[in-house]
Amino acid sequence: MDYSKTAAGVLAGVGGEENVTSLVHCATRLRFVLKDESKANTAAVKAVPGVVTVAQAGGQYQVVIGNDVPDVFAEIGKISKFGAGSDAAASEGPKGNLFNRFISMISAIFTPLLWALAGTGLLKAFLAAAVTFGWIGTDNSTYAVLNALSDGLINFLPMALAFTAARYFKANEFTAFAIAAAVLYPTITPLVGVEGLTFFGIPFTMVTYVSSVIPIIVIVWLQSHAEKFLYAKLPGAVRRFVTPMIVVLIAVPIVFVVIGPISAILSGALGNGIGWVFENASWAGGAIMGGFWQVFVIFGLHWGLVPLFTLEYQTTGQILLIGPVFAAVLAQAAAVAGVWVRARNKNLKSLAAPATLSGFLAGITEPAIYGINLPLKRPFAFGIVGGVVGGAIIAMGGVFSTAFVVPSGLALPALFGNGNMVMLIIGLAAAIAIPFLLTAIVGFKEPEEDAAPAATPAASGNDVVVLSPVDGTVVPLSETPDAAFAEGSLGDGVAIKPRSGAVYAPFDATVAAAFPTGHAIGLRHADGAEVLIHIGIDTVKLAGAHFDVKVTTGQEVKAGDLLVEFDGDAIERAGYDLTTPVIVTNGELYPALTDQASGPIAHGEPLFTAVSVESALAS
């Protein structure tokens, strides 16, 4: 994936920077809050290389990328005020009902920690498995070191949440950290359970804040409002050090006296409630988690359950909820494995193979769900069936985890030795076997062989004459000073060295992507040919400087219509090469080019002919 091109394409497709209110990302998705979702061109976004699909839920416009989402997010930050390192990224949360706002808040606060939690949790799972199988003892320094590095983050979770919550609520991060440090201070922890505690005569009960979630989020939210008030009221000469002093002095006692005890009661009740369900109707709880977890993921609702994992861990030292989720994840991976085995369509098989490995090994199921199982319908339904059965069996076995992990094949050691292992094996076997066999045997309606994999219009059989979009000199694409273009990785075509600063439509077309940076335009001919005009090399880094885009994504244009104006002299002075590749990006439908021009050319003159696959086969 070319992260910069993916970022620019997504930003253009959602209506440009001016249509974005805020942007954050989670483990696999860019989560936009748009000013007007009707301005987003979902088809264009889905067509951007690197995009798996688009989901609109929870008040957000969610662009599913996969594991590379942090890199795409960072590139968006380079070409807009949104993205990595930008205060505007989450400057304004989504509007709408309280539930949507809660889900968004949890997502924004937990997302930065997710992979660190998952990684250290996986280490803890392997360590626990090593102890269970007698590979390592617990009475030596090696175990002490491994236990500390695998357990440290979850132990001091309030400190990490202090930072992410402060960023979300726009509070001072280090003041929030000071509050979290106080509640976990070594002389405070031993007071848990001690009777007769008072603060200036006010009695209170000390509860444990190790691995806690609710107290720090609530107090940082209050901190954000207190800081705004104090900054507005205090003199400028003292506000920067008096504000944190007052906030810490008030916030920490509030946690000890009010928030902590209340959250402990709520957490205890929730933990006991979860325990009651899994003790008295474990099959029902497991079936719900195993069957509907992936449905929750589709709508982004699973973030509302993540705090429950940590609350259950804080209350009981174990996580019963997470066991059935393993069944849900592996069931969808097994369903796509069934597609891999049964499919005859080469495109479908090529998508199913990596999606299967990603699902089984890493627990990342978005490529499987959005790319294959949901579009084919039956595999997704079979995956739910497998998740229901497997989740119910695992829950009936009382299987639990002692670490927060992302459910996957690699994370299975987190469950070893915790509960009935025979039931775990049977549950996992059912979760995998049922959807795999149903998909492989019952089957699904398979798309036609050689169909375009991403909703690309089918070619009509007509060759398409592409006119020159600029005035300049035609050179072979191999002379482009960019390996991706020169080697034809992005498509076949030619390059032009411009002699003027205007780009015109090379045929009657729909604008598939008008990049807000102005450095590129994607066009789609009515017969199906898709052409990319890339003005200069690496000019996306100019972030729109020296470019003036005249069209918008989705707009219909005629041959010769002005698309972009640019200041070539200024771009070259900035150190960029102006060589402009003009390439056909859907070579599966237009596999050959003929009548390629060379030498000097004016816009509107024939540049090359894109030969359709039908014509190529006929010849």
Catalytic positions: 26, 534
Hey, what are 442's tokens? 């019952």
CA-closest candidate to residue 481, choices 539, 547, 546:
539
Instruction: Give the CA count within 13 Å in the CB-facing half-sphere of 334.
Output: 27
| Inter-residue contact 418 to 400 (CB < 8 Å) | yes
3-state secondary structure of 302: helix
Q: Are 510 and 554 in contact (CB under 8 A)?
A: yes
State how far the alpha carbon of 612 is from the alpha carbons of 29, 102, 531, 552, in Å: 35, 51, 13, 27
SS3 label, residue 485? helix
Per the structure block, which two tokens stand in for 535?
């003005």
**Residue 283: how many CA atoms within 13 Å on its side-chain side?**
3
Whole-angstrom CA distances from 266 to 23, 220, 425 are 32, 19, 34
Residue 419 per-residue DSSP state: S
Pairing mode, if any, of strands 606-611 and 53-57? unpaired
CA–chain centroid gap for 610, Å, is 36
Using DSSP's 3-state secondary structure scheme, residue 296 falls into helix
Helix/strand/coil for 596: coil
Distance CA 474, CA 399 (A): 67
Cα separation of the two ends of the chain: 34
Beta bridge partners of 57: 60
Q: How far apart are CA 50 and CA 399, in angstroms?
A: 37
Beta bridge partners of 341: none
| Cα distance between residue 135 and residue 129, in whole Å | 8
The tokens of 191 are what? 């007071």
Say how many C-beta atoms besides its own lie within 10 A of residue 202's C-beta.
11
Q: How would you classify the pairing of strands 202-203 and 53-57? A: unpaired
Residues 6+ apart with CB under 8 A from 43: 455
- Residue 138's CB: how many other CB atoms inside 10 A? 9
Cα 543–Cα 544–Cα 549 angle in degrees, nearest 5 = 150
Q: What's the rounded Cα separation, in Å, for the pair 444 and 205?
A: 60
Query: Exposed/middle/buried for 606, CB within 10 Å: 0-12, 13-18, 19+?
Result: middle
